């Protein structure tokens, strides 16, 4: 079982790099670039993801609009359905953005956007052999997550629910098993809908969350970005503090010694 550090002064360490924020943001589906930039600032994020396969569309404007000195870019292979596509997209990302970081997505179904784990494992193995730092978006299957960690991925990114669904944490039990089994950063990616989802995940000991749709498509994306930031901070602090154990019966919070009877 993994012993997770509860030191209140800890930083979020990813691939040997230190970050203050445990909230990663996607950059798609915002109403406009101005709203995107305001949301990025409000969220206190330091790492943002951009879809390489949309480089000729929205992503091109995003590259021009964001402050590359302020944010660490994590290009992703969103829209890829085979290992071959994902590897090619990652290679293009490394050449265009001069980074070996890649958020690896290999989709298996257009309706659920669930990962194709066979193609995902193949792509991860190839990319790691080519010197990439791989962050795989995967299912909440502990066995698949363990295989990816043993393969040499830099972090594991299991879903909380299908992409963009806002369903929240559908299977907390599997996520807890993954947390106990794997001594790597666990970044929950996909399905988050509300700040309370973020608090729940951080209280479970997850290292970070990646959010896109829940912020970008909110009625007020900037306010939601700020709320998600506070949720990530509060949830992590709550985890570090250590909750009291659950019990079936009441336990008096006041001492009974010396009470007049």
Annotated binding-site positions for 1-deoxy-D-xylulose 5-phosphate: 164, 190-191, 212-213
Known binding-site residues equal: 164, 190-191, 212-213
Between the CA atoms of 180, 78, 196 and 171, what dihedral angle is there, to the nearest 10 degrees?
Answer: -40
Whether 103 is catalytic: yes
Q: Residue 133's beta-bridge partner residues?
A: 101
- HSE (CB half, 13 Å, CA atoms) of 114? 10
Catalytic site residue from 11, 17, 103, 130: 103
Catalytic residues, which ones? 103
């Amino acid at each position: 079982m993994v012993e997770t550090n509860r030191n209140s002064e800890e930083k979020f360490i990813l691939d040997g790099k230190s970050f203050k924020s445990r909230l990663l943001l996607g950059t798609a589906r915002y109403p406009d670039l101005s709203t995107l930039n305001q949301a990025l600032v409000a969220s206190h994020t330091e790492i943002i993801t951009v879809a390489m396969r949309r480089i000729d569309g929205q992503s091109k404007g995003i590259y021009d609009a964001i402050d590359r000195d302020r944010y660490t870019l994590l290009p992703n292979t969103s829209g890829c359905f085979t290992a071959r596509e994902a590897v090619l997209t990652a290679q293009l990302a490394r050449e265009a953005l001069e980074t070996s970081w890649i958020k690896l997505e290999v989709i298996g179904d257009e309706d659920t956007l669930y990962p194709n784990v066979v193609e995902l494992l193949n792509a991860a193995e190839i990319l790691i052999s080519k010197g990439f730092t791989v962050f795989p978006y995967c299912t909440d299957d502990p066995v698949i997550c363990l295989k990816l960690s043993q393969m040499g991925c830099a972090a594991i990114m299991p879903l909380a629910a299908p992409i963009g669904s806002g369903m929240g944490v559908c299977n907390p039990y599997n996520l807890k098993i993954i947390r106990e089994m794997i001594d790597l950063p666990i970044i929950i990616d996909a399905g988050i809908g509300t700040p309370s989802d973020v608090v729940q995940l951080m209280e479970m000991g997850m290292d970070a969350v990646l959010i896109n749709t829940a912020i970008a498509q909110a009625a007020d994306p900037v306010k939601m970005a700020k709320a998600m930031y506070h949720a990530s901070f509060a949830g992590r602090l709550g985890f570090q503090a250590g909750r009291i154990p659950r019990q079936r019966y009441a336990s008096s919070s006041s001492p009974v010694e010396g009470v007049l009877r």
